[in-house]
A and B are shown apart, each in its own frame.
Chain A
Amino acid sequence: MKTTLTLIKRNIRLFFKDKGMFFTSLITPVILLVLYATFLGNVYEDSFVSSLPKGIEVGRDVIDGLVGGQLVSSILAVSCVTVAFCSNFLMVQDKANGTVKDLRISPVKSHILSVSYYVATLVSTLIICYSALAICFLYLGITGWYLSTADVALLVLDVLLLTLFGTALSSVVSFFLSTQGQISAVGSIVSAGYGFICGAYMPISSFGEGLQAVVSFLPGTYATSLFRTHATRGAFEQMVADGIPRAAAEGMKDMIDCNIYFFDSSVSEWAMYLILGVSVAVLLVAYILMNKFKRGTK
């Protein structure tokens, strides 16, 4: 156990000593927030206002809270996975610069090395993503705070769960990488692509039917929906309290993926948690088995 803990400490130290890697990871959510607020805030706002039933007015604060919630949920949904990939690059770096050879000439078991990378990535990612969450809360506090205590707690849980998922996914992917070039390529693909396929950059409801069916098989879709539900629920409740018909509010929730459907069946929150939990377990088992049965030598 002490061996594992020491190796975890080593991996975390290396991540935070690499100023470039650490600050890039930390600043990415902040940059995303600024970009979203600058370029997409108005688009989201116009979209909400145009979808309101005619003759019904909603307070500016509520609209701001709703737009803020959507921005924040998108950022968190992307960051938990992209930061996990960034943190897990240490594992690939160790292969690329030959350090893993130094680790493997010792009698330490392969699964201890794997666990140490996983836990270190998880801890580093959580530190950055919870920092991002704090910044997001601050942003919502400024633009319009409608979160209940329960929603705050659920957002904290969502970050944990999606980080577990992102870390497990990045561990499985990074297992196959061994050079700096591969790290860069995968980093670019994940940063650019994940936000689209999880519905963070564009609501899944705006995709074509075929694409909607495809992304409904991806666990990240449900994580985005959880974030969106918890970040906007308070604002929606306020809208209903202000006189918006519940059916209209539900229509807006459909529009921004708070309600999500597996083909035509609505997926409940608990089902989304279950999907994410099972996905984490499956990826972790795959990662452990891959390490156990890999050819350590060739």
Chain B
Amino acid sequence: MKNIIEIEMLDKSFGNVHAVDNLSFCVKEGELFAFLGVNGAGKSTTINIMCSQLSKDKGRVVIDGCDLDKEADAIKEKLGVVFQSSVLDAPLSVYENLESRAALYGIVGADFRARLEELCDLLDLKELLKRTVGKLSGGQRRRIDIARALLHKPKILVLDEPTTGLDPQTRKTIWNVISTLRRNENMTVFLTTHYMEEAAEADYVVIIDSGKTAACGTPLELKNKYTGDFITIYGADEDDVKNLGYEYEKIRDAYRISVPSTKVATELITARPEMFVDYEITKGKMDDVFLSVTGKSLVGGSEK
């Protein structure tokens, strides 16, 4: 797979604040890329630079072969952006909003109507077209935001915390749509989120802290590197668990033992087969990775 986004040594400061500090990463075509960091880590600044909303101080940004310094307009054609909060015109209808935004890309008349038909099928919008955007629910408005981002058939969909504040059912609907787009159109998805279970589904993850890359890799690589495994053992005696010499916690009907790696877990189990009769091994979660890497945790949109 070729790189569709290449960012090299990106730098951006606001006065004394170094928002993005020598940041480099690549995104492969068609992958779901998760860009994680606490508020103020530099995620939105990076996205704004990619979308030509902010100038960079230093560095190089190449998107689908186009250099941001030379072909900013060509890059804009390739990006569809769903902002953190909806920026559509609340007093206008869904149709009027999409019509005006499509015109920004030169999509008017019959071309617009044809594209709208496609998006209505994809996002189930038909019944919303005449409704005023300001009167839609959060989930409905998010679907319209996604439709707006997809109007010009971008190659890359940038989702800036797309599911924050949405109910689980709507989040699921939105992720189904994103999965369909990736499957059918090989669309690259650049995601920032505070929900670690969403990040766990990504093909590649970059965690930034204070504008710098703090960690990167696939979710599995990150879990292996930054968290250990957990053995949950049922029906064991607490003294036996204590004698294993690893940190553990008592849960309702079992003990949860923290071990540094899967290899250690395997050695432990093979050494004491009589003790490990009923057990399961699980990897650490992305929350643990994030906490380990940044020393901070992200829970449902807030830093702790």
User: Interface residues, chain A, CB within 8 Å of chain B?
Assistant: 2-3, 6-7, 9-10, 13-14, 17-18, 97-99, 101-108, 295-298
Which B residues from 65 to 94 make CB contacts under 8 A with A? Answer: 73-74, 76-77, 79, 81, 83, 85, 87-89, 91-92
List, in ascending order, chain A residues with CB within 8 A of B83's CB. 98, 101-102
Interchain Cβ contacts under 8 Å between A and B, 19 examples: A3-B103, A3-B106, A3-B108, A6-B99, A7-B104, A9-B100, A10-B100, A14-B91, A18-B91, A98-B83, A98-B85, A98-B87, A101-B83, A102-B87, A104-B52, A105-B76, A107-B76, A108-B104, A297-B53
Set of chain B residues within 8 Å of A298, measured between Cβ atoms: 54-55
Q: How far is the CB of B111 from chain A (nearest CB, A)?
A: 10
A72-B76 Cα distance, complex, nearest whole Å: 50
A97 touches B87 (CB 8 A): yes
- List residues of chain B with CB within 8 A of the CB of A18: 91
The residue from B55, B81, B91, B152 contacting A17, defined by CB atoms under 8 A apart? B91
Q: Which residues of A contact B207 (CB under 8 A)?
A: none
- The winner among A105, A296, A298 for most chain B CB atoms within 10 A is A105
Contact yes or no, B91 A106, CB < 8 A = no
Interface centre among A3, A6, A9, A104 (most CB of B within 10 A): A6
Residue interface mask B94-120, A partner, CB < 8 A = 1: 001001110111101100000000000
Bound complex: CA A298 to CA B55 (Å): 6
B108 touches A13 (CB 8 A): no
B51 interfacial by beta-carbon distance below 8 Å: yes
Whether the Cβ atoms of B96 and A105 lie closer than 8 Å is: no
| A102 shortest CB reach to chain B, Å | 4
Residue from A101, A295, A297, A298 with most neighbouring chain B CB atoms (10 Å): A297
| Nearest-Cβ distance from residue B61 to partner chain A, whole angstroms | 13
**Contact A101–B77 (Cβ < 8 Å):** no
User: Is B103 a contact of A107 with CB atoms below 8 Å?
Assistant: no
Q: Once the chains bind, are A2 and B100 in contact (CB under 8 Å)?
A: no
Q: Which residue from chain A places its CB closest to the CB of B152 in the assembled complex?
A: A106
Nearest-neighbour CB distance to chain B for A91, whole angstroms, equals: 13
How many Å lie between the Cα of A108 and that of B72 in the bound state? 11
Q: Which residues of B contact A (CB under 8 A)?
A: 51-55, 73-74, 76-77, 79, 81, 83, 85, 87-89, 91-92, 96, 99-101, 103-106, 108-109, 148, 152
Dominant secondary structure of chain A at its interface with chain B: helix
Q: Tell me whether B76 and A7 are in contact (CB under 8 A).
A: no
Q: Which residue of B lies closest to A93 (CB)?
A: B89
Q: Would B104 and A13 count as touching, CB distance under 8 A?
A: no
Q: Is the CB of A106 within 8 A of B101?
A: yes
Known: A2-B108, A105-B79. A10 touches B92 (CB 8 A): yes
- CB distance A3 to B96 under 8 Å? no
**The residue from B52, B96, B152 contacting A10, defined by CB atoms under 8 A apart:** B96
Tell me how far the C-beta of A160 lies from the nearest C-beta in chain B, rounded to whole angstroms. Answer: 27
Tell whether, in the assembled complex, residue B54 and residue A297 are in contact, meaning their CB atoms are under 8 Å apart: yes
B142 → chain A closest CB, angstroms: 14
Interchain nearest-CB distance for A55 vs B (Å): 63
Q: How far is the CB of A30 from chain B (nearest CB, A)?
A: 24
Check A6 against B103 for contact (C-beta < 8 Å): yes
CB distance from A255 to the nearest CB of B (A): 47
Cβ B91 vs Cβ A7 within 8 A:
no
* A20 shortest CB reach to chain B, Å: 11
Q: How far is the CA of A296 from the CA of B52 in the complex (A)?
A: 9
> What residues on A are CB-neighbors of B109 within 8 Å?
2
Contact of B87 among A6, A10, A101 (CB under 8 A): A101
Given contacts A9-B100, A14-B89, contact A106 B76 (CB under 8 A): yes
Would you give the shortest CB distance from A99 to chain B, in whole angstroms? 5
Residues of chain A contacted by B79 (CB below 8 angstroms):
105
Q: Are A99 and B108 in contact (CB under 8 A)?
A: no
In the assembled complex, the CB of B108 is this many whole angstroms from the nearest CB of chain A, namely 4
When distances are taken between beta carbons in the complex, the residues of chain B under 8 Å from A103 are 104
**A106-B104 contact in complex given A98-B87, A99-B87, A99-B89, C-beta closer than 8 Å:** yes
Interface centre among B79, B85, B103, B148 (most CB of A within 10 A): B103
Counting chain B CB atoms within 10 Å of each CB, which of A97, A102, A103 scores highest?
Answer: A102
| Known pairs A2-B103, A98-B87, A298-B54; A105 contacts B108 (CB<8 A) | no
Query: 8 extra interchain contacts, Cβ-Cβ under 8 A, other than A6-B99, A101-B87?
Result: A9-B100, A14-B91, A98-B87, A99-B87, A104-B52, A105-B51, A107-B73, A107-B77
Q: Given A14-B91, A17-B91, A18-B91: A105 and B103 within 8 A (CB)?
A: no
With A and B bound together, what is the CA distance between A18 and B76 in angstroms? 31
- Give CA–CA (A14, B99) in the complex, Å: 14
Q: Is the CB–CB distance between A6 and B100 below 8 Å?
A: yes
Q: Write out the residue numbers on chain A whose beta carbons fall within 8 Å of the beta carbon of B81.
A: 105
Q: Which of A9, A102, A107 contacts B105 (CB 8 A)?
A: A107
A7 neighbours in B (Cβ, 8 Å) = 100, 103-104
